[in-house]
A and B are shown apart, each in its own frame.
Chain A
Amino acid sequence: MVKKLLDNGAVVYDNWIVIGDDKELDNYQDIPPGRVLVSLKHWGEFKHQLVDRGTDKLGLIINSDESPRLVASDLHYFSVIAINFPVFTDGRGYSHARELREQFNFEGEIRAIGDVLIDQLFAMRRVGINSFILRNQDDTDEARPYLSTFSNPYQGAQDDPRPLLHR
């Protein structure tokens, strides 16, 4: 099972099954039972069967070149949105997280997956991502301090919408 870091620093095991774009699916039966994170493409294809699992067992993967706007009206089906960072220098996911929280009021879990490194955790947490699957799983137990690199950042964000000037 993979280790997952939470935004409060706790480490838990995660049992969601990831069904990304790279998984070929011929029919719905190819998706295993249980909690699944599906890509936008698979969601489009199997939406009607997938919804029967219920929100608790359903999560969506958003790649960096896909906009949350594409699924704005479907967000209530998911308890998890996984933002995929194909490489850590692709910063679109940061804006996607804010869009999800601020524009679509998504209140569930937003997790970072893909090329997730400890040096980016602080910024990721600030834009509203609240769980992290680190690429290097061995870093997970030591990652906690990297969630709070700076004590009083200047600008407002998801953790505190007020800029330092107004705090």
Chain B
Amino acid sequence: MYLYNEYDKQLLQERVAQFQDQTTRFLDGRLSESEFLPLRLQNGLYIQRLAPMLRINIPYGMLSTTQLRRLADISDRFDKGYGHISTRQNIQLNWPKLEDVPAILGELAEVEMHAIQASGSCIRNITSDQFAGVATDEIEDPRPYCELIRQWSTFHPEFSFLPRKFKIAVNGAASDRAAVQFHDIGIELIKHEGQVACRIFVGGGLGRTPMVGEEIHPALPPQHLLTYLEAILRVYNLHGRRDNKYKARIKILVKATGLESFKRQVEHEWENYLKDGPSTLTDEDITWAKSFFGAPNYETQHDPSVVQQIESQRAAHRAFDLWLQRNVKEHKHANYAIVNLSLKPTGVAPGDVTSAQMRAIADIADKYSFGEVRTTHEQNMVLADVQRSNLFTLWQSLKELGLATPNIGYITDLISCPGGDYCSLANAKSIPVATAIQQRFDDIDYLHDIGDVDLNISGCMNACGHHHIGHIGILGVDKKGEEFFQICLGGDSGKDAKVAKILGPSFKAEEIPEVIEQILNQYVATRIEGERFIETVNRTGTDPFKEAVYGKKAA
């Protein structure tokens, strides 16, 4: 994990002092509401329907157990004893008091955490693959690059006030677990002529106008990464629309300009003014960044009896077997496994984690996973380095904590935004719909038969629940003051990135579980042996599903 040096620490202290001063000036009336607004946003602080909401960054999802314990303490002291993992790997507190926020930031700074640029029209937290460094399909660990980008983008003076928020994700594996093509800039680390290179996508995004990012550079050598990003950001800063916030994202600029012409502008800036400049990364810089993400001290001695032992535990405990199949993923080191903690048991708002759970997870991670925990954009948590011989004991502890629901990747592992229960922009309450779906599909054999389904729910077209990239997406809409839900189908956040298509007229909340079941039945009826849900949708198209839901004449 990245360790702060004296400079990083000083910077955070200065940030806390800065925000303390800004808050004091605001509370004294010396800073107006409209002047304070962008400042507090750039510090992760929203004013929501019920209270302020503070978004705390978890850079590329990496947390130490010290940090997790501090988050638990903060949520007890300043909030209601729980936090919410967001779809950008951050953690949100829903009930802090404005006047407490500087103190919270002070507490966070002590454990090298912050809310810098957690919202507002600036470069946001960099997200990545939650299995970085341990995935079997990894090409290059994305985290060192994330960290270099984090530092470059933190308080970047030129990009203090962009037209709109700006999200960057980095992935470095065969599977895309960071949805890079749905980011303002997505970076895919590849091997090009034997060397690591950055394939760069630009102009992807969700929200009101979902778009798949387009490739602006096929294979940029990593030493040019920051200068190239600077060129893209400058073109965006100068030419992105500022007259209409719904048209202000870079995706609209890229679309309006055309990729080729946009690319020419970027390359003009880059080639003439930025390339090979002082921000060019040296080999030493990259080696330095990599030094923080080396493998922990793995047990390399292979004990063949472990396999035996696990097999007999599986045979004796079906629940353990199910959990292994669903929540445990292969690790690049044969003695280890990746363990996913499901934050989606039925009846809990997806992604919510209590302070007691946070402390318990921290204890478990200290014991079994080198003192590190990760958050995922699917709103779960991960222990990345668990020795296989410990899996059974670990499972028992997780089960007690309610964190072993064997549903990773199933339809009940759904992603949902906070929706109308918390969010003032919502058209509809998304969490009750999430719960109703989880209740409807609680039969583990059925879930197992259905297999992988990404289901995403957003309470309005701002799409915080990423409904466009769910295999099944659910969107809250307002029909004459009544809550309705629109269903869309066929989205994909992976390498075959695709935006889902609207199925047809919307439904009432209580109809949704039934509709989802009709969709799943259609899949079961037409799937070819071994075909995943999304593959069937892609093969047959959405018409048969439309017919299943709306009857013959609709299709």
**Contact surface of A with B, Cβ cutoff 8 Å:** 67, 88-92, 94-96, 98, 102-103, 117, 119-120, 122-124, 126-127, 149-157, 161-166
A89 to chain B, nearest CB (A): 5
- B121 near A155: Cβ-Cβ < 8 Å: no
- B234 near A95: Cβ-Cβ < 8 Å: yes
- B39 near A67: Cβ-Cβ < 8 Å: no
| Complex Cα gap A94–B15 (Å) | 21
Main secondary structure of the interface of A (DSSP, over half): loop
| Complex Cα gap A123–B273 (Å) | 20
| B160 interfacial contact with A, CB 8 Å | yes
- A-B contacts, 17 of them at CB < 8 A, read A88-B35, A88-B38, A89-B161, A91-B237, A92-B237, A94-B158, A94-B237, A103-B272, A124-B157, A150-B15, A152-B10, A154-B154, A155-B155, A156-B277, A163-B226, A163-B278, A166-B278
**Contact surface of B with A, Cβ cutoff 8 Å:** 7, 10-11, 14-15, 18, 22, 35, 38-39, 121, 151-163, 226, 234, 237-238, 242, 272-273, 277-279, 282, 285, 288
- B238 near A126: Cβ-Cβ < 8 Å: no
A148 to chain B, nearest CB (A): 9
- B158 near A163: Cβ-Cβ < 8 Å: no
| Complex Cα gap A122–B121 (Å) | 18
Residues on the B chain within 8 Å of A67, using CB: 238
The answer to whether residues A153 and B155 also contact, given A89-B161, A164-B7 and a CB cut-off of 8 A, is: yes
| Complex Cα gap A67–B22 (Å) | 32
A153's contact among B35, B157, B272, B277, by CB below 8 Å, is which? Answer: B157
CB-based A-B contact count at 8 angstroms? 101
Main secondary structure of the interface of B (DSSP, over half): helix
B277's contact among A90, A96, A161, by CB below 8 Å, is which? Answer: A161
Q: A88-B35, A119-B35, A150-B155 are in contact. List 4 more A-B contacts (CB 8 A).
A: A92-B237, A150-B14, A153-B155, A166-B278
Looking at A117, A119, A122, A151, the one whose CB has the most chain B CB atoms below 10 A away is: A119
| Complex Cα gap A94–B158 (Å) | 5
Residues on the A chain within 8 Å of B238, using CB: 67, 92, 95-96
Q: Which residue of B lies closest to A157 (CB)?
A: B157
- A94 near B151: Cβ-Cβ < 8 Å: no
- A102 near B10: Cβ-Cβ < 8 Å: no
| Complex Cα gap A80–B273 (Å) | 23
- A91 near B278: Cβ-Cβ < 8 Å: no
Residues on the A chain within 8 Å of B157, using CB: 94, 122-124, 126-127, 153, 155, 157
- A95 near B152: Cβ-Cβ < 8 Å: no
- B242 near A90: Cβ-Cβ < 8 Å: yes
| Complex Cα gap A48–B139 (Å) | 62
| Complex Cα gap A162–B121 (Å) | 25
| Complex Cα gap A163–B285 (Å) | 11
Looking at A96, A127, A149, the one whose CB has the most chain B CB atoms below 10 A away is: A149
- A163 near B161: Cβ-Cβ < 8 Å: no
- A155 near B151: Cβ-Cβ < 8 Å: yes
Residues on the A chain within 8 Å of B7, using CB: 152, 164
| Complex Cα gap A67–B265 (Å) | 14
- B278 near A119: Cβ-Cβ < 8 Å: no
The answer to whether residues A155 and B279 also contact, given A91-B160, A126-B157 and a CB cut-off of 8 A, is: yes
- A163 near B237: Cβ-Cβ < 8 Å: no
